[in-house]
Amino acid sequence: MKEKENQRSLHHNQKNLVNVTMKLFAKSTAYVILLLLSYTLGYLSSTTSYSYTPPQPLTDDGPAIVPANQLDNFRVTTRCADSLPSQLVRQTIVDRIFNATSPYANFPPPHVSQLLRTKRVKGWGSYGGVFERLIKKVRPRVVVEVGTFLGASALHMANLTRQLGLETQILCVDDFRGWPGFRDKFKDIHMINGDVLLYYQFMQNVIYFNATDTVLPLPYSSGSALMKLCEWGVVGDLIEIDAGHDFNSAWADINRAWRILRPGGVIFGHDYFTAADNRGVRRAVNLFAKINGLQVQTDGQHWVIDSTVNV
């Protein structure tokens, strides 16, 4: 009798276990179904409002393709003032930067007179044939040089324009600070209270070569100087870019300089085929030309973009 009761109890327990298991399974199944349904609805709603654009493949020349909707990220749209007549450029710079007095007046100041060399000219690629070819082609009345150091290429251009009988004003944009550690290579450039004397030695070089009427410094960063030239309506017929050699610096200088290039003018620069290219000069030049539909020409180690030649 007791054995039968035990069997009935075991059968009852098994039945209860089956019922509980079925209920749990039903709840778990419903939970899983609900979870999958929520995920599916979330995925479908997200794909309707977001589209993924894969990154563009890179080449040595920069992005292979620049999507049309990203071009605005690369454009410089600053509006410049109406261009000044070339004969007013020098006086405008002297008035606005040097308080209406030539920076060469009463030069050198007493505290540096004993620290300057009679001349100390140094440059890189400063005497290439590209200068003569472009000056003969453009016959510029205003040249803007971005990055001048001690003035080698500026003085070379001054001599070329003089030989051609041109009345050309050459504006030299440079902060005249060199770069950290440059005095390891130029130990003869003196320093006073942390101020390297590049600016004064540049001016001494200009005086030595009798080019004070032609060559005028703008002792500021390229960004601030080019922005002000744009605001003042100073435009160049020929613009040389040879300041910072990393991609961002070269890119910014080219874009700002393009804004002040007179229609029909030429912009060019050094280090298209030198070790500095590894830092981004060539990538910046090629990307700028690609975005603006322009053609890059080469002349030795220099790149040249003629505003009248399109792709």
- C-beta separation of 304 from 273 below 8 A: no
Locate 204 and state its tokens. Answer: 């001494």
Nearest to 155 by CA among 116, 190, 204: 204
What is the pLDDT at residue 184?
A: 74
Tokens describing residue 21: 């298991």
**Whole-number pLDDT of residue 189:** 82
The CATH superfamily holding the domain 66-306 is Vaccinia Virus protein VP39 (3.40.50.150)
CA angle 115/119/120 to nearest 5° reads 85
Region of 34 (left: φ > 0; alpha: ψ -120 to 50; beta: rest) is: alpha
Structure tokens at 140: 């510029």
Contacts of 39 (CB under 8 A, 6+ apart): none
108 prior amide bond cis, ω within 30: yes
Alpha helices in 50-107 (DSSP H): 89-97
> What secondary structure letter does DSSP report for 107?
P
Sign of CA pseudo-dihedral 216, 220, 226, 227: negative
pLDDT of residue 36: 54
Question: Residue 259 in 3-state DSSP?
Answer: helix
Q: What pLDDT, on the 0 to 100 scale, is given for residue 24? A: 46
Task: Please tell me the predicted confidence (pLDDT) of residue 139.
Answer: 98
Kindly report the backbone phi and psi dihedral angles of residue 144, in degrees, each rounded to the nearest multiple of 5, phi listed first.
-115, 120
Q: Count Cα atoms within 13 angstroms, Cβ side, for 53.
A: 7
**Torsions phi, psi for 193 (to 5 deg):** 50, 40
- What secondary structure letter does DSSP report for 264? E
Contact yes or no for 225/219 (Cβ under 8 A): no
Element (H, E) at 58: strand 58-59
Q: Which two tokens stand for residue 252?
A: 């910014």
**Sign for the pseudo-dihedral over CA of 242, 243, 249, 253:** negative
pLDDT number for residue 8:
54
Angle at 212 between CA 211 and CA 218, to 5 degrees: 115
53-70 burial, b at 16+ Cβ within 10 Å, e below that, comes to eeeeeeeeebbeeeeeee
Mean pLDDT by 10 residues, the chain (311 residues): 51 51 52 52 46 40 53 69 96 97 96 91 78 97 96 96 97 90 76 88 96 97 96 98 92 96 96 77 93 94 93 64
The pLDDT of residue 18 is 44
- How far does the chain reach from its first CA to its final CA, in angstroms? 106
pLDDT of residue 46: 46
